[in-house]
Amino acid sequence: MPSYSPPVRDMKFLLHEVLDIEQYGDLPKFSEAPRDLADAILDEAAKFAEGVLQPLNQVGDQQGCVRHDDASVTTPPGFKDAFDQFVENGWPLLGAEAEFGGQDLPSVLGIAVSEMMSTANTAFAMYPGLTRGAVEAILAGGTPEQKEKYLHKMTSCEWGGTMNLTEPHCGTDLGLLKTRAVPQADGTYKISGQKIFISSGEHDLTDNIIHMVLARIEGAPSGTKGISLFIVPKVMVNDDGSLGERNGVSCGSIEHKMGIHGNSTCTMNFDDAKGYLIGEENKGLRLMFVMMNAARLGTGMQGLCQSEASYQNAVAYAKERIQGRSLTGPKNADGPADPIIVHPDVRRMLLESKSVTEGCRAFLYWTALHGDLEELSPDEKVREKGSDYMALLTPVIKAYLTDRGYHNATNAQQIYGGHGYIEEWGMSQFVRDARIGMIYEGANGVQALDLVGRKLAMHGGRPIMTFIGELDAFIAENGDDADLKPFIDGLGAARGDLNTATTWLMENSLSNFDNAGAASHEFLHLFALTALSYMWARMAKIALAKAGKEPFYATKIKTGAFFLSHVLPATALHLGKIEAGAENLMALDESEF
């Protein structure tokens, strides 16, 4: 039976030491979260995640969700009770707006809390996660009346929320969608069509579910310019806030998925369901992208979560499993064999996971902090940089963290040998649950294309230039630090490869857009490794300064050293593949595959 012990020490290291969020104590939101409160929240969240959510993770996988003949859906045993506690304890309100009952804490703190919940039980955490996405869309585009009507109950998760985008014939290309919205005399719309892959589409956790639905108003232009967004409540909400009759939306079936069985992923049927336009007619995609962008950082986080969860269990197993002997002589001479953690190749897999996971956590929190600064800083330049970074880094976080989450979970499973393949041991679930992160909220190839096709060029390249400039400043500032030299050298080399790749793209993409597409996956990974090397340099700087104070710091430096020698060198390979261009990719005719 797998376990999870939230890495609170590492989280506090990042928040207080590396990012030093106390320096923003004068900003709104941050002023509400002084260090002692922040720490108390982290400690309590850890208890809830470990004590309440994690024990339900495997149950959720094995029992899944059940759709009944009346189209209602029951979540796995224990989920409803845990969800009630989750709501009663006010966890969903942490980062929510004060206007709607929230505590209005900074998202850099919120993401640490989310990480714990989602590591303990990803399928469970998706219910509030999707609800939060729907909240963001209503905040961005709703009328004051709509906000008042829905957001109080949604920020608290008394009601759930969903995102209804995908249809059988369209996912990435939403311009193809067919769901119809017919205007009614009272200003509402009748929505009809079928949506698939709807996470948390129907369940027994909340009294109501507010569906955010993309549809095409009768007569609207075809393609992406004719798509509108609608609020479609599962149960109609009366003007006094009480619940009315059931709306014409129902769960047609629960999808048979490879993983995240604890989340009810549904096909949703809309039969003349009453819908309320949110935002402007035919401008629905813009609002949906507000939700998507928020969701993408959260999806990246899920990769981190599976990485952490699977790593912790692999470590425990590698210490317990007695099998064979160390190559350099018995390490457990009194026992019948040594624990397998003595083997370099087992350590290779563990350290790949540990060093990348810790680097990714820093990268994620640092990015989330820029989201806070974009919103809260009084300094226009800081807000601009925050906005630039959020745009630039979101696709990288989404794709790299989920790619790595799957890779690391696979390695962790490998450490279990045959037991890793047997479901009772729980390692297969981490792999299966991790797999979806690379696919949903925009497949990772789409993220890579977003990065090279749009984000690099935005504002005349300002975001990437600012990013490289920040690396240069750090290198210049710390170039004389002898202890930090390996980290500065590693960062410098990665920065060089990234810069070369960026220049290559500028010079070769305009003449042939396929060069950008061909480079996109490699560029995203090169970018992420460079960002991680920056994170590792910053973490190592703090850890070196405090090396004698706590074993934690010495371990951090050793972990970073492994990152430098065994993970970071891949930047050169990515650069080489970028420079190889699109020619060999495009040479084959379709019929030759």
Active site residues: 441
Which residues, 447 to 506, sit near its own copies by CB under 8 A?
Answer: 448-449, 453
What SS3 class is residue 57? Answer: helix
For position 177 contacting its own copies by CB under 8 A, the verdict is no
In angstroms, the CA 25 to CA 32 distance is: 8
C-alpha to C-alpha distance for 27 and 108, rounded to whole angstroms: 13
Question: Going along 496-590, which residue ranges are E strands?
Answer: none
The nearer residue to its own copies, 155 or 515, going by C-beta atoms, is 515
Q: Radius of gyration of the chain from Cα atoms?
A: 24
Provide the 8-state DSSP code for 428: H
Q: Near its own copies by CB under 8 A, which window of 10-18, 38-46, 284-292, 322-330? A: 322-330
Give the CA distances from residue 360 to residues 11, 304, 432, 488, in Å, rounded to whole numbers and listed in that order: 12, 7, 20, 18
Q: How far is the CB of 559 from its own copies (least distance, A)?
A: 7
Least distance to its own copies, CB of residue 55, Å: 19
Q: Pairing between strand 180-183 and 208-217?
A: parallel
Q: Residue for token digits 């934690």?
A: 552
Least distance (Å) between residue 134 CB and its own copies = 19
Taking CB under 8 A as the criterion, the residue among 187, 418, 460, 548 binding its own copies is 418
**507 scored as a contact of its own copies (CB under 8 A):** no
| Choice between 206 and 444, CB closer to its own copies | 444
Q: Could you say whether residue 414 binds its own copies (CB under 8 A)?
A: yes
CA torsion, ordered 65, 66, 67, 70, to nearest 10 deg: -130
The token duo for 307 is 């990485």
Of 511-530, binders to its own copies (CB under 8 A) are: 512-514, 516-518, 520-521
235/439 with CB nearer its own copies:
439
In the DSSP assignment, the letter for residue 329 is S
Listed in sequence order, the residues at least 6 apart from 359 whose beta carbon sits closer than 8 Å to its beta carbon are 532, 535, 536, 563
Is there a contact between 527 and 499 (Cβ–Cβ < 8 Å)? Answer: no
Residue 350 binding its own copies, by CB under 8 A: yes
Which of 48-56, 385-393, 463-471, 507-515 is the region at the interface with its own copies (rule: CB under 8 A)?
507-515
Asked if 359 touches its own copies (CB under 8 A), the answer is no
Smallest distance from its own copies to CB 492, Å: 17
Do the Cβ atoms of 227 and 213 come closer than 8 Å?
no
Gap between the Cα atoms of 129 and 194, Å rounded: 23
Contact with its own copies (CB under 8 A): which of 23, 219, 239, 327? 327
Establish if 176 lies at the interface with its own copies (CB under 8 A): yes
239 vs 81: CA distance, rounded Å: 29
Q: Is 541 helix (H, G, I), strand (E, B) or coil?
A: helix
For residue 449, the minimal CB distance to its own copies (Å) is 7
CB of 499 to its own copies, least distance (A): 20
**To the nearest whole angstrom, how small is the minimum distance from the Cβ of residue 161 to its own copies?**
20
Window 282-311: residues binding its own copies (CB under 8 A): none
For its own copies, which residue of 92, 141, 171, 395 counts as binding (CB under 8 A)? 171
Which residue from 12, 16, 80, 347 is in contact with its own copies, where contact means CB under 8 A? 347
Question: Which x/- pattern over 138-167 shows residues binding its own copies (rule: CB under 8 A)?
Answer: ----------------------------x-
User: What is the footprint of its own copies within residues 434-453 (CB under 8 A)?
Assistant: 435-436, 438-440, 443-445, 448-449, 453
Write 383-389 long-range contacts (CB < 8 A, 24+). 385/466, 388/458, 388/459, 388/462, 388/463, 388/466, 389/463, 389/466, 389/467
Handedness of CA 166, 172, 178, 182 (dihedral sign): positive
- What the block records as the tokens of 167 is 């249809």
Q: Which stretch binds its own copies (CB under 8 A): 137-145, 225-233, 410-418, 527-535?
A: 410-418
Q: How far is the CB of 550 from its own copies (least distance, A)?
A: 12
Residues 194-223 that bind its own copies (CB under 8 A): 196-197
Q: For its own copies, what does the binding mask look like between residues 539 and 578, x meaning CB under 8 A?
A: ------------x--xx--xx-xx-xxx--xx-xx--xx-
What does the per-residue mask of binding to its own copies show for 254-283, with x meaning CB under 8 A?
-xxxxx------------------------
Stretch that binds its own copies, among 13-21, 252-260, 292-300, 525-533 (CB under 8 A): 252-260
- Residue by residue, DSSP assigns 442-496 as S-HHHHHHHIIIIITTGGGGHHHHHHHHHHHHHHHHHTT-TTTHHHHHHHHHHHH
